[in-house]
Amino acid sequence: MKDENWDDLRLFLAVAREGGLVGAAEKTGISAPTIGRRMLALERATGHHLFLRHSKGYSLAADGEVLLAHVRAMAAQASFIRQWNENGYCLPIVSLACDGWLAMFLARHLGDIWSKEDTFRLCLKSTETGVDLVFREAEIALTRQRPEAGNLAARQSVHMAFAAYATERVAAEREERWVSIGREQASTSADRWISNQPDKWISVWTTTTPTLLELAKAGAGRVILPCVIGDGEADLVRIGRPIDALAVDLWIAMHDDDRNRSEVRIVIDRLATLLKRHANLFDGSLRAAAE
C-alpha cells in the first residue's frame, strides 16, 4: 500500500481481536457496515486477502496473521511515543478510563484519588466504548467485565445497581414518559433497557450521559441511572427498587507491567478505597436504608 492509514490499521486490529464487525463496532463506536467497507478497502490497498469471512464472524487469513503481527508492533510503539510525549512535561501521567457515569462520580471525589501535592498528573478518560489496556490506551480502567485476555491484572470492586429516577412531579404522573440514550450511542444494557421495553413511551432522546441526567432534573421524563448517581441527586426520587437485570460488578483493571509503578499503585489503592467506602451507594442500599 502506498500510504499506510493508521486509522484503518487500528480498525483492522479491532476486527482481528473481536473476531468480527459487530464486536469491532462496539469497541470503536464506528458502525459495522462502515468498518466492513474500510476492511475491503484495506485489502484492495494492500493487495492481500486478510480475512476469512463466515457466518459467525471474521477470522484471519494467512496474510492477515502477518499484518496483525506488524500492526501489534506499531500499536506498541505508538503507546511508547504517547508515554514519552506525556512524560516530557516533567511529571508522569496516570490515565484512568471509565464510562461517563463513573467519570462523573470520580470527578466529584477527585480529592480522594489525586491532589496537587502528588508527584504525578491524572488523566480521567471518559469513554463508552472502553480502552485497550494491552496497548496502554490507559494505565487503569474501571470495567464491567473481568479482562480475559492479554497481560492484564484485575481487582474486583463494588456491585453497581441501576434504577428508574424522575422528579417528584414526573414520578407522580399517571402516564409514564421516558428519556433515553439514542440507540446508536447506547453501549450498555442500562442504556438500551428503555428501548427494549415495548410498553415504554420515550419522549426525549439524547446522546450523552451528562445530558441524560440534566434532562431528568429538568422534568423531561423518567430515566435509568446508576444508583451511585441517582441516589445522590436531591432533585430526583427513585421509582421502585433497582432493576436486577442491569446490575454489574465493577473491576479495577490494569496492565500487569504497569501496576507496580509507584504512581499507578497509588491511584489503584486510592480508587479501591474510594469505591469500597461508597459501596452501599453503588449497590443502591443507602437510599433503601434511609427509606
Averaged confidence pLDDT in the chain: 88
Query: What is the mean pLDDT of the segment spanning 12-17?
Result: 89
All three cell numbers of 206: 439524547
pLDDT score, position 141 = 95
Distance CA 35, CA 11 (A): 7
Q: pLDDT for 175-212, tens place per residue? A: 899 999 988 888 888 888 888 888 788 899 998 889 99
Q: pLDDT for 147-178, tens place per residue? A: 876 788 999 999 999 999 999 999 999 889 99
Superfamily of domain 162-246: Periplasmic binding protein-like II (3.40.190.10)
Delimiting residues of CATH 3.40.190.10 domain(s) in the chain: 91-156+249-278, 162-246
pLDDT score, position 29 = 82
Q: pLDDT for 210-229, tens place per residue? A: 999 999 999 999 999 999 99
Residue 177: how many CA atoms within 13 Å on its side-chain side? 13
91: three-class secondary structure by DSSP: coil
Fold of 91-156+249-278: D-Maltodextrin-Binding Protein; domain 2 (3.40.190)
Query: What is the mean pLDDT of the segment spanning 252-266?
Result: 90
Delimiting residues of CATH 1.10.10.10 domain(s) in the chain: 6-84
Is 115 buried (19+), middle (13-18) or exposed (0-12) by CB count in 10 A? exposed
Fold of 6-84: Arc Repressor Mutant, subunit A (1.10.10)
